[in-house]
Chains A and B, each alone.
Chain A
Amino acid sequence: MLKALNLKNINKSYGPIRALDNINLTASDGEFFSLLGPSGSGKTTCLKVIAGFEAPDSGVVSIFEEDVTNIPPFKRHVNTVFQDYALFPHMNVRQNVGYSLKVQKIKGSSMDRKIDEILEIVNLTGYDLRKPSELSGGQRQRVALARSLINKPKILLLDEPLGALDLKLREKMQVELKNIQRQFKITFIYVTHDQQEALSMSDRIAVFNNGKIEQIDTPANIYSKPINSFVADFIGTTSIFDKDSAMKLFDLDKAFSVRPENVVILETKEDLATINKQQYYITNGTVTDCQFQGSHLKVTYLIDDKCKLRVFKSLEGNINQKYDINTKHTIAWRKSDITTLNE
């Protein structure tokens, strides 16, 4: 596989704050690669280093095997979709989208054709003469996308591009972005704090925390085999048992996590009898919260007065089911479903 992007030992500090702490990552050509992490974890700084807006204190940035560490952004063949879209307010849609052609002195019919083509791809035909201030959030997002795609860059950097859109629009744009990425065969470096978005769109994910990368893997592996408690906690919903509780309750010598969909609630003795006790961890918990979520109930249990356990209880067949707070239940999950954690 061709290496589209390679970051080697990248460090970047702002005064006493280490924004990037020895970052190493490689994205292959055509890959959808997400940088996922909470705000302030360094993912946006990492994107700025790739784009060239920030110079790393040390380390090497390579794009298609070429060292670009000291090359200014306007000479790098990457384009960026900015978080705030960064549309030029004094230009209309057409001028914004054609900006990179104009600075390259591409004019006339070839410019017009390229602009029309890209506006059609992002469904903005007919909006040519509008100013950014006359567009909705979703339309601005499309203009920003068209503007950065018009040169068919080899790598597209996206900085939380859907963060400002409402849920419905965000889901629609997720599908469209994925389609565009497949159609153009562009490497996407996608910054997001939304783990759902990262899981559903990415080929691989790098999980950032405090300027470090905690784990790089496929969404399925990140979800099912988180390397430590930070990743386990950050990705999806999970319940973590620390080392002491694991020892006391289950005679395990390591902390572990368990996903809420893997836990079964055993309300009656008959239920308990249906499971194979050799294959399950079984314990007792008290209901502290019960939320209706549409397709399932989200039930929170307190176990041994200190461990919180979240359970998704499917509502198929009985939509009106709910549990009263302080009800005591036996709960269990398969031994094979837990993830042991290193810290």
Chain B
Amino acid sequence: MNNLLDSFSNFSYRNKNFIFLSFLILPLLWLGIVYLGSLLIFLGHSFFHLDGFTGQIVYEFSFKTLIELFSSPANIDILIRTVALAACVTIGSAIIGFPIAYYMAKFTSPKVKIFLFIAIMLPLWSSYLVRVYSWKLILAKEGIINWFFEKLNLEWLLDTILSTPVIGGPSLSISYIGMFLVFTYIWLPFMILPIQASLERVPNSLINASHDLGANKRQTFYKIILPLALPGIIAGSIFTFSLTLGDYIIPYIIGTSKFFIGQAVYTHQGTAGNIPLAAAFSLVPIVVMVVYIYIAKRMGAFNAL
């Protein structure tokens, strides 16, 4: 028995791939079947279509559903609306997140850093729904923001903002501005943490070297710090962008009556039973993300990695 164990241990030491594979097989199966497999099957449905009369799914390969998606102006509106909001949320998160991440990476003591980490993560530990509903109350006409503007006699300012076409609305809680605020709030940690990690890896000596070579703070920021933090910003933006593209709860609770991709998917696969169209809608964020990452890579965003 001992002998057998012995030769097994010798064998596995010499054949490292064997041990490696035996540990990896379960996670690989999980990733391959449960994760990617089901996703691919679902997305594959976008190449089937719904029979107009019977309401049954026709399991034949065709582009009918995809053509339907892109030929309907209402659907195009949904896609543009969602992608535009996701882009705004991403840019907003980056603008708010970068200074915080920079401060955490370069200026804090270890104790303050841990405190800030917890402060940033803390909201993630409470329920997403609770937080979104709280925002509904905060942004509502009777909410604290309105109250605040009233007290400062700045109602006219809020009214001016809300009367802006497209992004305005009857109140913050029923407008794109409100959605932008809530999305930015909800996804901000996913932007801060990758940027912080990438800035943490920029040695201070590089910043000193830049100053030493005559670059002032602004030049150092644009030529050294920003390019080196770019992989982190891209990583963060992949989170905020894709999470916004797929979300349906915030548009449902905060938004106007106009649909976003997530809501479209939810309705089509649920009540309407149009799984092919739901699948076609879900295909869009994935394609957008692939294109986005490809462009980022071509522009050299990952060169500093």
Contact = CB atoms under 8 A, between A and B. Distances in A.
Our verdict on whether A and B bind, yes or no, reads yes
B227 A90 contact: yes
Interface in B188-217: 203, 205-206, 208-216
Given A90-B304, A102-B223, 4 more contacts: A53-B211, A74-B216, A84-B203, A90-B227
B303 interface: yes
Contacts of A84: 203, 205
Nearest 3 Cβ contacts at the A-B interface: A100-B213, A86-B209, A86-B205
Contacts of A90: 227-228, 303-304
B155 to A, nearest CB: 46
A73 B205 contact: no
A40 interface: no
B219 A103 contact: yes
A72 interface: yes
B224 interface: yes
A72 B223 CA distance: 18
A268 B202 CA distance: 65
Contact of B215 (A52, A53, A82, A103): A103
A147 B215 CA distance: 13
Interface in A85-107: 86, 88-90, 99-100, 102-104
Contacts of B213: 74, 79, 99-100, 103, 147-148, 151
A100 B219 CA distance: 11
Given A84-B203, A90-B304, A74 B211 contact: yes
Among B210, B211, B212, B228, residue most surrounded by chain A Cβ atoms (within 10 Å)? B212
Contact of A151 (B214, B219, B224): B214
30 contacts: A51-B212, A52-B211, A53-B208, A53-B211, A72-B211, A74-B213, A74-B214, A74-B215, A79-B213, A80-B209, A82-B209, A84-B203, A84-B205, A86-B205, A86-B209, A88-B210, A88-B224, A89-B228, A89-B304, A90-B228, A99-B210, A99-B213, A100-B215, A103-B214, A103-B215, A103-B219, A148-B212, A148-B213, A151-B213, A151-B214
Interface string B218-251: 0100011001100000000000000000000000
A86 B202 CA distance: 10
A284 B223 CA distance: 68
Contact of A73 (B203, B211, B219, B227): B211
Contacts of B206: 86, 88
Interface string A137-173: 0000000000110010000000000000000000000
Interface residues of B, number: 19
Interface in B132-164: none
Interface residues of A, number: 24
Interface of B: 203, 205-206, 208-216, 219, 223-224, 227-228, 303-304
Interface of A: 51-53, 72-74, 78-80, 82-84, 86, 88-90, 99-100, 102-104, 147-148, 151
Contact of B212 (A73, A83, A104): A73
Among A72, A83, A88, residue most surrounded by chain B Cβ atoms (within 10 Å)? A88
A82 B205 contact: yes
Contacts of B303: 90
A73 B223 CA distance: 17
Nearest to A104: B214
A157 to B, nearest CB: 8
A143 to B, nearest CB: 12
Nearest to B213: A100
Nearest to B304: A90
Contacts of A102: 223
Given A86-B206, A90-B304, A79 B212 contact: yes
A290 to B, nearest CB: 43
A74 B205 contact: no
A107 to B, nearest CB: 15
Contacts of A51: 208, 212
B304 A74 contact: no
A73 B304 contact: no
Given A74-B214, A90-B227, A80 B304 contact: no
A74 B209 CA distance: 9
Contacts of B216: 72, 74, 103
A52 B223 CA distance: 20
A72 B304 CA distance: 27
B196 to A, nearest CB: 19
A28 B7 CA distance: 72
A74 B212 CA distance: 5
Contacts of B219: 103
A72 to B, nearest CB: 7
A297 B304 CA distance: 51
A97 B210 CA distance: 12
Contacts of A104: 214
B117 to A, nearest CB: 24
A162 B303 CA distance: 28
Nearest to A76: B212
Given A86-B203, A90-B304, A80 B212 contact: yes
A72 B303 CA distance: 30
A82 B206 CA distance: 9
A90 B222 CA distance: 13
B224 A73 contact: no
A43 to B, nearest CB: 16
A72 B234 CA distance: 32
B212 A103 contact: no
B303 to A, nearest CB: 5
Contacts of B228: 89-90
Contacts of A73: 208, 211-212
A327 to B, nearest CB: 50
Among B206, B208, B214, residue most surrounded by chain A Cβ atoms (within 10 Å)? B214
A1 B219 CA distance: 37
A72 B215 CA distance: 11
